[in-house]
Amino acid sequence: MVLNVKDLLQKAKQTENVPVAVKNEHKGVSKPSLSVVYNKNSKRVTLTAGLADALSLEESVDFFPLVEDGILLVAKKLNLENVSTGKINDGGKRICYSEPISAMIVKAFSLDYTKCTSKAFDEISLDEIDGIKVAAVKIK
Alpha-carbon distance of 80 to 130, in angstroms, equals 13
CB atoms within 10 A of CB 109: 18
Mean pLDDT of 99-118: 95
Q: pLDDT value at position 136?
A: 96
Q: pLDDT value at position 30?
A: 65
Exposure on the CB side of residue 83, measured as CA atoms within 13 A: 19
Q: Is residue 61 a contact partner of residue 74, using CB atoms and an 8 Å limit?
A: yes
Least confident of 13-27, 88-102, 103-117: 13-27
Whole-model pTM over 0.75: yes
Q: pLDDT value at position 12?
A: 76
CB atoms within 10 A of CB 135: 24
Measuring CA to CA, how many Å separate 4 from each of 66, 103, 134?
A: 13, 26, 11
Q: pLDDT value at position 17?
A: 36
Q: Specify the number of domains making up the chain.
A: 1
> Whole domain around residue 43: which residue ranges?
5-138
SS3 (DSSP) at 133: strand
Between 6 and 127, where is the model more confident? 127
